[in-house]
Chains A and B, each alone.
Chain A
Amino acid sequence: MAERLFGLETEYAYALLDRAGQRIDPAQALGWLLDAARRLIHLPDLNSNGIFLANGARFYIDCGGHPEFAGPELANPWDAARYVKAGERILERLAADLARRHDAVAHACFFRQNVDYSGTGSTWGSHESYLHRNDPALFRRHLIPHLVSRLVYTGAGGFDSTYPGIRFTLSPRVPHLEADVSAESTRCRGVFHTKDESLSSSGYHRLHLLCSESLFSELGLFLRVGATAVIVAMIEAGLRPGEGLALPSPLQAMQVFAGDPRCQEVVLNARGQPMTASAIQRHYLLLAEAHLQSPFMPPWAEAVCRQWRQVIERLESGSPDSVATSLDWAIRFSVFDKFLRDQGYSWQSLQKWNVFAEEVVKLLPGANSRDKAPDLETLSSEDEIPKEMLSKLRPQLSQQGVSLNEYKEFRALRSRLFELDTRFGQLGDKGLFAQLDRAGVLRHQFPGVDNFEHAMECPPATGRANLRGNCVRRLGSANCSRSAYACDWAAVWDQSQHRVLDLSDPFARQEDWKTVALDSDSSLNPILTPRHRRMFELLTLSGALTR
């Protein structure tokens, strides 16, 4: 049985609120957050203002100014879910620390949120990395149908934040994807991301996926990583799991699947055959099941396939009700559906308002800009609407048989649903998911995804993450001179003893420090900088590092 390594990154939205409920300046808040994080056992990150933690993870402030946890390299899907939960709890601990230390902070709120509903068009990702040793070009063709269709169990659920009406989607990142394939990550994102930065020694590649979302469901997390890693293993072994599944327009297919909570919509493959998302998933599953005994399969493949099959069967037997307490998107859908009905609406009745909202967008200036989505919600009377605009709106109102006040109510409903979606992802006691979980009404839990306290403090049992985490545990406490050290994914640097722990082998099992032979007149600065790192690397290449 072959070992595999993978990892998950989670980008969090955040807001520190003062006693008056006002948001504290984001730059100030991030500074306090980093200060709080540096009170944890850690080693400094060589490449950023972030830190590496005792569990082998990296915590830092990413582009766009949001906190991010990049989890340690993991060898099984139980740990994938477990370390995501551990990162979440570390953040909750930091939130409590911030509120305790800063009088100005009444609430430190962090959100496992996927899209911003204020009109910025922003989105937060949960990226996946899978280590492999094959030609990266092979993955595009054979993985894309999987990425397109797996959203029936990996989707977080939410609303299309780019749409002027109310449109539920299984996967709120999908409206933010603009290409089938792309190397970009902050704009023009693709279903398949071509980045290949291995962060390892030569021969290894890192498949980096960014089309997915942050999940709470342990079952969803387990299956998302488990099924994808099994497919990566099959591709690496020379199988062609995407054969016969090629889609003429993957992005379009993804949009179709994301819009259908019943999971019954079909798309045509390149041969013109209609396929549901479940059918595509079943194709991959059957191939995986047929190769369960193959030496390239990871030891947990059978457990993954068992859950994979059960989830597909449940989706086919009556989605969304059949998964309404176990998968993120379906839990959200069920809760929002009930809320809508309580407010006197239904998904069906929203259609009339959506049509009108689309018309309004066409009538108003800046209608094509996400940043300028028109909003009549706050208007108290028609008098506040410019006459020219009103003269355009009136025929539409009349045609739809609705009043401006009713439209305002619809817009208010939209805002409430958007807040609910954000609250669903809020960490801590107030979060909707957390409250439902505490009430015992969800069935997403997965045996083996447990002992989060341990995962907050300790690295996984295998691979270089274990060595890195144990170094941080040993060297990164406040009473150690941790400023003499620096860390990145592939090494730990010890400035005081002029040595480096090479972790470029992702499967490294032994802590093997190498001493750096430095000239006596070296201009080495006590604080490691990227310049010094380059020097260390040059020394390594020139053979100056000795055992």
Chain B
Amino acid sequence: MNQLERNNDPSNRPPEPQAAGTGGSNLNDLRRQAAALHAAADAAIKNALSANSKAFNSSMRQEGGQ
């Protein structure tokens, strides 16, 4: 697809996944996906979480929006 000429024509769209997000719905697949997610999450949390969460939450204090 020419991205400079994007339009609404559905024929220009790439094929959609049969089940976007699952990649298969059987239990074994879901378990395997969950295990991979959790393993990656362990590493990501170690990388992201500060030593003092309370202080972090307070430092993020702001007014918010609508």
Contacts and interface: CB of A to CB of B under 8 A. Distances in A.
Contacts, number: 212
A124 interface: yes
A461 to B, nearest CB: 5
A381 interface: no
Interface residues of B, number: 50
Contacts of A300: 8, 10, 13
Contacts of A65: 62-63
A477 interface: no
A124 B65 CA distance: 5
Interface string B46-66: 011110011011111111111
Nearest to B52: A415
Contacts of B23: 443
Given A306-B16, A331-B37, A441-B40, A210 B66 contact: yes
Interface string B24-60: 0100001001101111111111011110011011111
Contacts of B60: 13, 15, 111, 113, 116-118, 422
5 contacts: A125-B65, A322-B30, A412-B53, A447-B13, A448-B13
A50 B58 CA distance: 28
A339 B41 contact: yes
B40 A436 contact: yes
A439 interface: yes
B50 A419 contact: yes
A505 interface: no
Interface string A144-176: 000000000000000000000000000000000
A156 to B, nearest CB: 15
Contacts of A118: 57-58, 60-62
Contacts of A124: 64-65
Contacts of A14: 62
B65 A324 contact: no
Interface residues of A, number: 93
A41 B21 CA distance: 36
A314 B25 contact: yes
Contact of A378 (B4, B25, B36, B54): B54
Contact of B16 (A123, A339, A443, A447): A447
A416 interface: yes
A260 interface: no
Contacts of A116: 60-62, 64
A45 interface: no
Nearest to A121: B64
B64 A322 contact: no
A451 B20 contact: no
Nearest to A187: B66
Q: 7 shortest A-B CB distances, which residue pairs?
A: A326-B21, A122-B64, A118-B61, A435-B44, A439-B40, A419-B53, A11-B65
A441 B37 contact: yes
Nearest to B23: A443
Contact of A63 (B4, B40, B57, B66): B66
Contacts of A22: 59
A423 B7 contact: no
Given A11-B64, A435-B40, A439-B40, 16 more contacts: A116-B64, A123-B65, A124-B65, A210-B66, A317-B25, A323-B21, A326-B21, A334-B37, A416-B53, A419-B53, A430-B48, A432-B48, A439-B36, A441-B39, A448-B13, A461-B7
B30 A324 contact: yes
A26 interface: yes
